[in-house]
Amino acid sequence: MHKDILRRGARLCLILAVIVVVLLPVVASLGDPRAAFVTFVFGPINDMRHFGNVLEAMTPLLFTGLAVVMMFKAGASNLGAEGAFFLGGVAATWVLLKVPMSAPFLPIVAIAVGGVVGASVCVVPAWLKASVGASELVCSLMLNYAALFIGLYVVNYHLRDPNAGAMLSFRIPVDGKLPRILEGTRVHLGFVIGLLCCALSAVYLYNTRWGYEVRLVGSSPLFARHVGVRTVMVGLIAPCIGGFIAAAGGAIEIEGMYSRFSWTDLPGLGWNGLVVAILANNNPVFVPVAAIFLAYLEVGGDLLAQNFAVPAEVVGVIKALVILFSTVSITARSPRVKRMLVRALRGARKLNTEV
């Protein structure tokens, strides 16, 4: 336990060092570096509106980050959370506009339908891997864009408001909206649902037999098969759960933050969910911490861009470096990587001796 805390503390220090190294030259080049630094560090929490923006940005990351964690825990190389999130939002919008139902049942049904429909983006690659041995990684990446164009077709030909002047759906009825929970902000009930999903997922993974099987298949599939675990079934169930969570997150995002469906491209929240999963070390308990950290970075970067004309790509560079160093810190602890490093060092030492 003590070693685990030290490892997490070291990773946090590494991430903070990365942020400082990237941000310091940018801030130093501005006319008022101190004000820019204060804006980035304290701007997201200096008033309720900005803090609400952090929680708003954090909410979809709870779902996409948790979805990636659930799939990665089973050893699945599935990156379909992006397409599932998008398609879940489209399916939920269809239910909200087409199904004659009143609150509170309408948003619940829309979330359920969106979750089931969007989950197909993650389930199909897992099924192809189990049935014909196809690459789950490649299939899931390709299906993200298939989901995009299917969703755009549905919006354009079945949900589009011809009087909107753009590719926007008809207005979502009031009965289909999620209630706000924090006055003066747009933070909605989906934030609480996301936290509850993280808690339930932690209980599922670490306190149930099914969760133990998921972790066993993810860590040692050959041993899991040897002791009688149905690895193929686990490999299908995990993407079902993860895809449903991501797609439900898309439905919740539409119900909580939008008056119309307005996405004309993949929103990128599934890819950010991958960052959250890496920062959380594939542990649902730490998904909220990683999500709020990433949301804090996003809001701080937006404030810098608005007030000091700092390019928004700076936050993208920080995220890329955080992924790089976090991945290195995780893989460096792998026994296989350690054995490779030891063999490489021995080979180098032997070569040096011969020379």
Task: Classify domain 52-309 at the CATH class level.
Answer: mainly alpha
Does residue 240 carry a pLDDT above 90? Answer: yes
Does residue 1 carry a pLDDT above 50? Answer: no
pLDDT value, residue 266: 93
Q: Which of 314, 252, 209, 311 is nearest to 66 (CA)?
A: 252
pLDDT in tens, 247-266: 999 999 999 999 999 999 99
HEC string of 306-345 equals HHHCCCCHHHHHHHHHHHHHHHHHHHCCCHHHHHHHHHHH
Retrieve residue 50's tokens: 């900005």
pLDDT in tens, 147-189: 999 999 999 999 999 998 889 999 999 999 999 998 889 999 9
Domain ranges of the chain: 52-309
pLDDT value, residue 7: 66
- pTM value? 0.88
Q: What is the pLDDT of the chain when averaged over all its residues?
A: 87
Burial of 294-316, coded b for 16+ CB within 10 Å and e otherwise, reads bbbbbbbbbbbeeebebeeebbe
At 202, the amino acid letter reads A
**Higher pLDDT, residue 332 or 238:** 238
| Across 327-333, average pLDDT | 59
- β-sheet bridge partners, residue 160: 169
Give percent of the chain above pLDDT 70.
Answer: 88
Instruction: Please give the helix or strand (H or E) that residue 123 lies within, else none.
Output: helix 105-132
